[in-house]
Amino acid sequence: MNRLCIFGGTMVLGYAGWYVGDLLGFEFFGCFLISGAGSIVGVWLGWKLAQRLER
Q: Kindly tell me if the per-residue pLDDT of 10 is higher than 90.
A: yes
Q: Is the pLDDT of residue 30 over 90?
A: yes
Average of per-residue pLDDT across 10-15: 97
Contacts of 38 (CB under 8 A, 6+ apart): 13, 14, 15, 16, 17, 18, 20
How many separate domains does the chain show?
1
Model confidence at 34, pLDDT cuts 50, 70, 90, reads: very high
What domain range includes position 24?
A: 2-54
pLDDT (tens digit, 9 = 90+) per residue, 17-29?
Answer: 999 999 999 999 9
Q: Would you call 21 helix, strand, or coil by DSSP? A: helix
At residue 55, does pLDDT exceed 90?
A: no
Q: What is the pLDDT of residue 51?
A: 95
